[in-house]
């Protein structure tokens, strides 16, 4: 980069891109010098294989489907794959932020970039996103399939699908930019979090409600499915995927005026998304810095009375203080409270789904005893992010643990007690939901499920404490894509949970084979005793690990 006051021209866009690529490559290669970096590479290889299978399978499948639609004059079915691609392109990155690129491209604003360079860098990062690559490959497969079936159609299909791809890239970048804007402040973050939770929960009820209306449709009226499909086909033409479908289908039918009109409207959508994205990036480029600090009240001084901390019997004062802090953190975080209600929501969905299915009531009554173990297992699984990244929400506060005269085993003991209390409340909620929606679980099943929950919790505490120290990741609710643990942590948690459920399954199968439910309880309690021994041993060595990992811990949790 040219020095200040020199007559050398500023580096061009190509030079800046080359410099950024070189910087990212050096960051990657240097990360491989650490054990965590090498483990992250392994996790990304497995994730990349999954992406590759998804991309290759979808490209071949959609290419064959496009060839069939065009060659057999069935172009009306093009709307379905286009909507699938559109929804996957926009929703998958939002719901799977653990597997997306977590680098914050706004950090490049620290360097003397022109706005054009900054905009192009943001778009380049969006184009390199796995979802974008998969979506482009899928559209490429559809273009190739349509071109093979009708070579004359290839240029028009390439133009329509290329415009549709550009629209999805702009829309995805626009959504990310505005979500980051709303996440930057606590009030808007809570509103946005509530909206996403209601959206996720609402989507789960689509299938039960559809089955309900199909089961209770009125006589003399058209079937609910046919009426709903007709309305959706009429409305979807006004949205991006529907416009891409109209442009292609009209082009195949020789109605070029209507096809060109649909393509123009598709370009209008793209221009609107570009304008909204430009508003956000211009604000960032000009130095917008949102803060969560409350405005000082002029002329007013308030003093809050000191309140005594919680008195948790049987533990030391530091453990009780950290235990209280964990609950305060939880009560103020909507994303952390969300997992607590999801097991109950899933049970409600299962209840209505089975009730409206053929012979659903008989199935529910016959297998209602499994509802509580299934709900408990789901509750443990969904709380994994809380167990396996204990220090993710601490931020700069992690330094106080190292400066205060408190052992790290006390810190993690307090966190585990808070996690255990949350899990206990979750078990109670699941039991009440099962009793209300299905039937009260028998005493034997309840006892065996609780024994299994204790065993799974102790295993999760032991593994979670160690992984939290060896592979920490800062959870930043104000930055999209940084709300979950690292990739290697997610894979390790998945493997540990699978092994835990495997041991629990052995105990259940043994009890079913011998027709003695108490056998499962005894085996699970024996497993829990072994897990408790491992937990206490790991906790006794945790201070040594924490001291050895202090530099990497502080650097990771405190980084901007």
How far apart CA 557 and CA 541 sit, in angstroms, is 22
Q: Is residue 142 exposed (0-12), middle (13-18) or buried (19+ Cβ within 10 Å)?
A: buried
At 487 the pLDDT is 64
At 460 the pLDDT is 92
N- to C-terminal Cα separation, the chain: 25
Contact 496, 383 (CB under 8 A): no
pLDDT above 70 (res 294): no
pLDDT above 80 (res 71): yes
When the pLDDT of each residue in the chain is averaged and rounded to a whole number, the result is 78
Residues 6+ apart with CB under 8 A from 309: 317, 320, 321, 324
Let me know how long the chain is: 560
Please give the average per-residue pLDDT across 5-13, as a whole number.
54
Top-confidence range, 390-399, 490-499, 514-523: 514-523
Joined together, the tokens standing for residue 417 give 């007690």
Could you report the per-residue pLDDT of 228-282, keeping only the tens digit for each? Answer: 455 555 677 788 888 888 888 888 877 888 889 889 999 999 999 999 999 988 8
How far apart CA 132 and CA 165 sit, in angstroms, is 8
Could you give the angle at the alpha carbon of 132 between the alpha carbons of 131 and 136, nearest 5°?
120
pLDDT above 50 (res 98): no
Please give the average per-residue pLDDT across 181-210, as a whole number.
68
How far apart CA 243 and CA 249 sit, in angstroms, is 10
At 59 the pLDDT is 92
At 302 the pLDDT is 47
Q: Where are the alpha helices (DSSP H) in 237-333?
A: 240-252, 256-285, 317-331
Contact 145, 64 (CB under 8 A): yes
Could you report the per-residue pLDDT of 53-66, keeping only the tens digit for each? Answer: 989 999 999 999 98
Residues 6+ apart with CB under 8 A from 455: 500, 503, 504, 524, 525, 527, 528, 531
Confidence of residue 356 (pLDDT cuts 50, 70, 90): low
At 456 the pLDDT is 92
Q: Among positive and negative, which fits the CA dihedral 334, 337, 338, 344?
A: negative
At 428 the pLDDT is 92
pTM score over 0.75: no
How far apart CA 522 and CA 463 sit, in angstroms, is 23
At 1 the pLDDT is 41
At 211 the pLDDT is 61
441: left (phi over 0), alpha (psi -120 to 50) or beta: beta
Please give the average per-residue pLDDT across 390-410, as a whole number.
84
């Amino acid at each position: 980069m040219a020095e200040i006051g020199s007559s050398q021209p500023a580096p061009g866009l190509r030079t800046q891109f080359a410099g950024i690529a070189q910087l990212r490559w050096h960051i990657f290669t240097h990360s491989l010098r650490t054990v965590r970096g090498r483990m992250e590479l392994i996790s990304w290889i497995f994730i990349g294989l999954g992406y590759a299978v998804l991309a290759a399978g979808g490209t071949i499948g959609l290419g064959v489907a496009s060839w069939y639609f065009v060659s057999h004059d069935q172009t009306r079915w093009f709307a379905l794959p286009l909507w699938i691609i559109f929804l996957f392109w926009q929703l998958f990155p939002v719901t799977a932020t653990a597997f997306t690129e977590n680098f914050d491209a706004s950090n490049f604003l620290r360097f003397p970039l022109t706005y054009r360079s900054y905009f192009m860098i943001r778009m380049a990062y969006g184009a390199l996103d796995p979802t974008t690559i998969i979506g482009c490959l899928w559209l490429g497969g559809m273009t190739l399939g349509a071109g093979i079936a009708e070579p004359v159609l290839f240029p028009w299909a390439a133009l329509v699908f290329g415009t549709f791809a550009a629209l999805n890239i702009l829309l995805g970048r626009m959504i990310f930019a505005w979500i980051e804007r709303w996440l930057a402040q606590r009030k808007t973050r809570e509103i946005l979090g509530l909206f996403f939770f209601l959206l996720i929960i609402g989507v789960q009820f689509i299938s039960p409600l559809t089955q309900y209306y199909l089961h209770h449709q009125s006589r003399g009226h058209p079937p609910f499915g046919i009426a709903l499909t007709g309305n959706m086909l009429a409305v979807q033409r006004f949205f991006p995927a529907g416009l891409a479908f109209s442009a292609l289908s009209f082009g195949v039918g020789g109605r070029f005026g209507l096809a060109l009109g649909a393509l123009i409207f598709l370009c209008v959508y793209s221009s609107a998304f570009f304008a909204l994205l430009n508003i956000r990036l211009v604000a960032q480029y000009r130095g917008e810095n949102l803060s969560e600090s409350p405005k000082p009240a002029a002329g007013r001084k308030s003093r809050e009375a000191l309140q005594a901390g919680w008195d948790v019997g049987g533990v030391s004062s530091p453990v009780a203080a950290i235990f209280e802090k964990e609950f305060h953190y939880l009560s103020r975080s909507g994303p952390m409270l969300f997992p607590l209600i999801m097991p109950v929501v899933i049970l409600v969905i299962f209840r209505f789904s089975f009730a409206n299915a053929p012979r659903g009531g008989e199935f529910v009554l016959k297998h209602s005893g499994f509802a509580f173990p299934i709900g408990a297992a789901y509750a443990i699984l969904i709380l994994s992010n809380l167990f396996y990244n204990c220090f993710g929400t601490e931020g700069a506060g992690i330094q106080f643990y190292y400066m205060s005269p408190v052992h790290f085993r006390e810190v993690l003991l307090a966190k585990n007690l808070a996690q255990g209390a949350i899990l206990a409340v979750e078990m109670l909620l699941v039991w009440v939901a099962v009793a209300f929606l299905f039937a009260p679980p028998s005493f034997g099943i309840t006892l065996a499920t609780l024994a299994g929950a204790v065993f799974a919790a102790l295993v999760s505490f032991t593994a979670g404490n160690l992984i939290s120290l060896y592979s920490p990741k800062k959870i930043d609710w104000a930055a999209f894509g940084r709300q979950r643990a690292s990739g290697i942590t997610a894979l390790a948690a998945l493997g540990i949970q699978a092994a835990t459920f495997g041991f629990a399954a052995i105990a259940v199968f043994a009890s079913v084979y011998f027709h003695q439910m108490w056998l499962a309880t005894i085996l699970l309690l024996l497993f829990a005793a072994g897990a408790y021994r491992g937990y206490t041993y790991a906790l006794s060595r945790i201070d040594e690990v924490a001291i050895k990992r202090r530099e990497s811990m502080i650097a990771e949790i405190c980084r901007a």
